Copies of this chain bind each other. A is one copy, B any other.
């Protein structure tokens, strides 16, 4: 085994399963998969980067909503602003639970906040947020709290003619700001929830409509098909909202956050996925046991 490959991964069944699968589909034989069909898709929050205490994008959105509430305090009486003011984590967990009412009210509020905004203006908002935001536990910019083992997995896949995509329930245009710098990824390889856009007077502007569906649950494979014309050969996720993406792939990784010392230990929002993994043949990645390094 080339020691430079997946060097932040400990030797063990998961690293072995990854290397075996890559060899299986690239070596000549019955299981060979043509490069055109080598599409790998990964969730973002909790799969590629820290998502506690809040997924980075949610922190960004909450900041914008707090500004809106300051400007118009009457907002605080209605959702989702009420949930934010009251610190109602259970209300926002409704997005992960795919509660349609919660998703709709959150979607509509996000759409109102950036309706009519150009991509350049949106990017400026994101960059202003990341420039000042420091993680409350690690005291580092959120852009430094990405998982080194997953970067190495991307390297391995690309070296084997796979294209690597991010497919997150979070905002496509938010993640695109960091795609090149964090993941060496072109923006067209970022899939996520997004507004429909229009081309008006020579400019792109965001509308208040959603482009297709939210990229949650069954919305993930739907968006992956729309983008790539196929379902993934390999997929990685960490939560119940990733289950359909994982089951749609030939090989699936499920990240288990079991490392309270170096990161976090939690199963909330991943109970169904963890229960289903053994029967589905998904490789469960123990951050504690399988990764000898978490951050770059």
Known: A186-B163, A211-B212. A194 touches B36 (CB 8 A): no
Are A248 and B187 closer than 8 Å at their CB atoms? no
A:160-198 near B, CB below 8 Å: 163, 172-173, 176, 179-180, 186-188, 190, 194, 196-198
Residue of B176, B204, B244 touching A222 (CB-CB under 8 A):
B204
Known: A36-B187, A229-B188. A204 touches B176 (CB 8 A): no
Judged by a CB distance under 8 angstroms, whether A218 is at the interface is yes
- Contact-residue size bin, chain A (C-beta under 8 Å from the other chain): 35 or more
Q: Nearest Cβ in chain B — how far from A46, in angstroms?
A: 21
Task: For the complex, give the distance between the alpha carbons of A180 and B173 in Å.
Answer: 28
Are A222 and B202 closer than 8 Å at their CB atoms? no
Are A229 and B190 closer than 8 Å at their CB atoms? yes
Residue of B187, B198, B213, B248 touching A202 (CB-CB under 8 A):
B248
Chain B, residue nearest A39 (CB):
B188
Judged by a CB distance under 8 angstroms, whether A150 is at the interface is no
Chain B, residue nearest A165 (CB):
B188
Known: A202-B247, A222-B198. A187 touches B230 (CB 8 A): yes
Judged by a CB distance under 8 angstroms, whether A226 is at the interface is yes
Judged by a CB distance under 8 angstroms, whether A113 is at the interface is no
Task: For the complex, give the distance between the alpha carbons of A2 and B215 in Å.
Answer: 46
Task: For the complex, give the distance between the alpha carbons of A169 and B242 in Å.
Answer: 32
Known: A204-B231, A227-B188, A228-B188. A222 touches B199 (CB 8 A): yes
Residue of B36, B213, B218, B220 touching A186 (CB-CB under 8 A):
B36
Are B229 and A187 closer than 8 Å at their CB atoms? yes
Task: For the complex, give the distance between the alpha carbons of A213 and B248 in Å.
Answer: 27
Chain B, residue nearest A204 (CB):
B225
Residue of B173, B180, B190, B199 touching A221 (CB-CB under 8 A):
B199
Task: For the complex, give the distance between the alpha carbons of A225 and B39 in Å.
Answer: 21
Q: Nearest Cβ in chain B — how far from A168, in angstroms?
A: 14
Known: A221-B204, A222-B199. A187 touches B228 (CB 8 A): yes
Judged by a CB distance under 8 angstroms, whether A89 is at the interface is no
Task: For the complex, give the distance between the alpha carbons of A187 and B213 in Å.
Answer: 21
Task: For the complex, give the distance between the alpha carbons of A231 and B188 in Å.
Answer: 11
Q: Nearest Cβ in chain B — how far from A88, in angstroms?
A: 30
Judged by a CB distance under 8 angstroms, whether A119 is at the interface is yes
B residues less than 8 Å from A119 (CB atoms):
225, 229-230
Known: A176-B229, A200-B218, A247-B202. A188 touches B212 (CB 8 A): no
Are A173 and B204 closer than 8 Å at their CB atoms? no
Residue of B36, B188, B213 touching A180 (CB-CB under 8 A):
B36
Known: A163-B186, A225-B204. A196 touches B212 (CB 8 A): yes
Q: Which 10 A-B pairs have the closest CB atoms?
A: A187-B229, A199-B221, A199-B218, A188-B228, A176-B229, A204-B225, A199-B222, A36-B180, A197-B222, A197-B225
